[in-house]
Structures are given as C-alpha cells and as structure tokens.
C-alpha cells in the first residue's frame, strides 16, 4: 500500500514546508525558553562550582551571600580555619555594579578575593589568558563576557583597574559576568564613600558631641577613621579536608561561631529553588502557553488541510478505504509537520541562542524530550481533523 500522507505532502511540499518553517519558529521560541531556564540553573551551578567552596559561612539568619545581603567581619575566617575538617578558608565579597566601558553600560559582579596565596576559595578556577591577581591593589581578572581585554584599564567606582587575566563562564546567578579583584579593593568599591560624602560625614561626626568631647584627644580622629573604612566581607568560603562531612562541619561552625553555614547542597537549594524560583515559574507558564499555542496551530493547520480534501476523502471512503487508512494519513501529516517544525525550531534556537544577553543552554535531553512532547501534541492536534474526516459521508462523492 502506498503512503498517502507522503504523497500528499510531496504533492504540495512547498506549502507544507512553508507551514512547517512557520511552526518551527514557534517551536524555536519554545526551545529557547527552556534553554533560558536551563541557562539560569547552569549559571547558579557555575557560581557554586567556581567559588571552589564546600561550605559558605554567612551572617547569622541570612540566605547570603548570593540570595540575601550578608555581612561578617573579615577576620572571622581565622576561627573557622582552625576547626576540625576545614582545609582552607577564603574571604569573599560580592557586589553587582553598573560598569561603563567603551561607551557602553553593563552590569558586572565584582568579586573580592584573598590574593595572599593562590588556590584560596573564591578565586577563579581557571584562566583563559593572562595571570592571577598578584598585587594587592588595582588588578582585575574579568570574565570574557564583560568585553574586556588583557592590559585594558577599566574604571570601577573610584579607581581604575588593569585587566591582568581573563576567565570564562564566571557569572553571577543573574548571568552578569564577574570581575575578580583583591578583597581590599572590593571592600573599597563596596563601602568607601566618595570624597564629598566623606567631607560631609566628617563634619557631621565632628558636630556630634558624643565623638568630639573636650578632653579626650584622638576620639574624633578614631571615629572618623572607622567610618571611612570597612572590615566586613559577605562570606567566608570553606574548603573541607578530604573525608570531612560537610553537614557536621557546617553544624560545628554554626554552633561555635554564631554564624550560619551552608553546605553545597543547601546552597544549590537556595540558588536554584529559591533565587530563581519565580523566574522558573514564569518560564514554566510560558512553556505551557507556547505548548497550547503550538497544539492549536498544528490542529488548525491539519484541520484546514483535511477540510481542503473533503471530496478526495469522500471518494476514498466510497471506493472502500478503511477509516484507519484515512486516520493514518492525517496522523502522519500531523507528525510530519511536527517533525519539520522541530528540525527548523532546533536549528533556529541554536542560531539565535548566542545573541541572547543571558546564557541559553540547549541540552540534548531537553531537545529529545521536546521532540517527543511535540509528537504527542501533533498527534493529539490531529484528532480534531481525524474526527472531521471520519464524519465525511462517502455519499458526498455522488452528486445530488
């Protein structure tokens, strides 16, 4: 038996292909939405992986350092470093700022890290060019997506920094590229006020009788010096010794240091389940709507194509074609349309993914899953047309 669906498609292949391309663009959008969600999850995962930490120690009762503000003293690491199971600690400060570079504005995440010795948690895991930050001040390592080049100087708040190294896929949970600087620099960027603010603050402090008491020399200067600098960081990153149980070590840190400590699993939960939960639901809603729209479009196209063949279907039924033969023809056309749509959509999503400002991760598993979902949608969408075709009276082929 010849395949009626294939013959019909080949007979009007141009129209069929054009319809498939249109559907494919819609499917491309659907795949891209899934890719955006995967990219968000991957950004969160990358953020955790790139920190090089097994435990994050943050201000008590906060979900810091990524999901909520957290502030702890920058010497807290000393007490943590001596605890059983802790192999290495590193201070880290994170803040997102607007960077102006080459006439363009972009958001970047500044990461302050310990630069006293290499390999501390918080430093970028690898460099694609250049060298690590060696000086205590005004050197930076930038993610390639920040658009900076080796040797380039970039202004971050009050000071200019020289890019000495480049790295890749070091992004915040929002997908902003990271710029790594020395911890002291990050603290300055984060807390140091501008000169006008400092002058005003000093005048305000000098006018405060509590800090400017007659007969206590040096009190005002000490108060003003304290206001001009910060000794806080957002987190202490902890790397565990081999064999150490992260839950036990985190529990000990919480118990003895009056701080909150999160294990890697808990941090993944915070970043994936809490931080991007709303975005994930938003994208999930879009995916549901796009799936419904896709089903409606496939159903409409297949129904229209079927209704254009009422006479042919009536003749087929009159000359003895089984309902199964006619239903199979319509089903195969719906699946064929879905197949063309999927191929066009997958190619389109792959082509436009790099243009998106945020990372779009198109996983083969998602594509395969999407393909099967699309086939099911196409099959379900053909039901309306099949019902209509089976309702066609073979008598319609006979005049009168």
Partner 1 sequence: MDKVDKIPAIKLTGLKKRYGTGDAAVDALKGVDMIVWPGEVVGLIGPSGSGKSTLLKCLGAVIEPTSGHMELAGETIYDDGWKIPDLRALRRDRIGFVFQAPYLIPFLDVTDNVALLPMLAGVDNAAARKRALELLTALDVAHRAGAQVSQLSGGEQQRVAIARSLANHAPIILADEPTAPLDSERALAVVHILNEMAVQFQTAIIVVTHDEKIIPTFKRIYQIRDGKTHEEAGEGRAI
Site of interaction with partner 1 (CB under 8 A): 1-2, 4, 7-8, 10-12, 311-312, 315-322, 325, 393-395, 397-400
- Nearest distance in Å: CB 365, partner 1: 37
Contacts of 183 (CB under 8 A, 6+ apart): 74, 91, 92, 93, 112, 113, 114, 115, 233
- Nearest distance in Å: CB 400, partner 1: 3
Report how far Cα 231 is from the mean position of its chain's Cα atoms: 31
- Cα dist from 106 to 71, 289, 390, whole Å: 26, 32, 59
Beta strands in the chain (DSSP E): 55-58, 72-73, 86-101, 104-113, 129-130, 139-143, 153-156, 159-167, 178-182, 232-233, 235-240, 260-263
DSSP of 329-377: HHHHHHHHHHHHHHHHHHHHHHHHGGGSSS-----HHHHHHHHHHHHHH
- Nearest distance in Å: CB 346, partner 1: 28
- Nearest distance in Å: CB 315, partner 1: 5
- Nearest distance in Å: CB 397, partner 1: 6
Judged by CB, which is closer to partner 1: 81, or 321?
321
The angle, 0 to 180 degrees and rounded to 10, between the axes of the packed helices 323-352 and 4-11 is: 50
- Nearest distance in Å: CB 21, partner 1: 21
Judged by CB, which is closer to partner 1: 5, or 373?
5
Judged by CB, which is closer to partner 1: 146, or 302?
302
Adjacent-strand bridge partners of 104:
101
- Nearest distance in Å: CB 325, partner 1: 7
Judged by CB, which is closer to partner 1: 154, or 389?
389
Q: Is the separation of the CB atoms in 268 and 64 below 8 Å?
A: no
At 389 the three-state DSSP class reads: helix
Judged by CB, which is closer to partner 1: 150, or 398?
398
Number of Cβ atoms within 10 Å of the Cβ of 297? 19
Q: CA 377, CA 299: separation in Å to the nearest integer? A: 9
Judged by CB, which is closer to partner 1: 339, or 397?
397
DSSP of 88-114: EEEEEEEEEEEEEETTEEEEEEEEEE-
Judged by CB, which is closer to partner 1: 9, or 53?
9
Judged by CB, which is closer to partner 1: 153, or 311?
311
Could you give the maximum distance between any two Cα atoms of the chain, in Å? Answer: 118
Q: How do 178-182 and 104-113 pair as beta strands?
A: parallel
Contacts of 357 (CB under 8 A, 6+ apart): 175
Sign of CA dihedral 287, 293, 295, 301: negative
Helix segments in 229-276, DSSP class H: 246-257, 264-268
- 14: which 2 tokens? 């141009």
- Nearest distance in Å: CB 392, partner 1: 12
Judged by CB, which is closer to partner 1: 103, or 399?
399
- Nearest distance in Å: CB 49, partner 1: 55
Asked if omega into 65 is within 30° of 0 (cis), the reply is yes
- Nearest distance in Å: CB 384, partner 1: 22
Judged by CB, which is closer to partner 1: 144, or 312?
312
């Amino acid at each position: 038996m010849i395949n009626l669906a294939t013959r019909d498609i080949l007979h009007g292949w141009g129209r069929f292909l054009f319809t498939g391309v249109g559907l494919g663009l819609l499917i491309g959008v659907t795949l891209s939405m899934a890719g955006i969600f995967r990219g968000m999850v991957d950004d969160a995962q990358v953020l955790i992986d790139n920190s090089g930490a097994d435990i994050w120690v943050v201000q008590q009762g906060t979900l810091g350092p990524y999901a909520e503000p957290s502030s702890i003293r920058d010497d807290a690491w000393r007490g943590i470093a001596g605890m059983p199971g802790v192999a290495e600690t590193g201070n880290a400060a994170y803040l997102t700022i607007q960077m102006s570079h080459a006439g363009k504005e972009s958001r970047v995440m500044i990461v302050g890290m310990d630069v006293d010795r290499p390999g501390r948690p918080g430093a970028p895991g690898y460099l694609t060019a250049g060298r690590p930050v060696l000086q205590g001040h005004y050197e930076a390592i930038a993610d390639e997506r920040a658009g900076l080049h080796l040797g380039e100087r970039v202004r971050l708040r009050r000071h200019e920094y020289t890019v000495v190294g480049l790295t890749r896929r070091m992004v915040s949970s929002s997908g902003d590229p990271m710029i790594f600087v020395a911890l002291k620099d990050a603290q300055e960027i984060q807390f140091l006020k501008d000169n006008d603010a400092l002058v005003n603050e000093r005048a305000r402090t000098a006018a405060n009788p509590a800090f400017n008491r007659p007969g206590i020399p040096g009190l005002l200067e000490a108060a003003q010096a304290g206001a001009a600098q910060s000794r806080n960081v957002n987190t202490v990153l902890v790397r565990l010794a081999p064999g150490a149980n992260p839950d036990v070590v985190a529990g000990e840190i919480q118990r003895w240091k009056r701080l909150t400590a999160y294990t890697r699993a808990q941090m993944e939960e915070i970043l994936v389940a809490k931080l991007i939960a709303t975005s994930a639901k938003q994208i999930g809603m879009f995916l549901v709507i796009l799936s419904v729209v896709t089903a409606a479009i496939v159903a409409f196209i297949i129904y229209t194509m079927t209704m254009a063949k009422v006479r042919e279907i009536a003749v087929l039924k009159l000359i003895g074609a089984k309902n199964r033969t006619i239903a199979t023809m319509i089903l195969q056309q719906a699946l064929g349309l879905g197949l063309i749509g999927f191929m066009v959509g997958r190619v389109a999503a792959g082509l436009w993914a790099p243009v998106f400002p945020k990372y779009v991760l198109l996983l083969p598993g998602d594509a395969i899953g999407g393909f099967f979902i699309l086939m099911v949608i196409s099959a379900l969408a053909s039901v309306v047309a099949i019902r209509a075709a089976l309702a066609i009276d073979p008598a319609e082929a006979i005049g009168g």
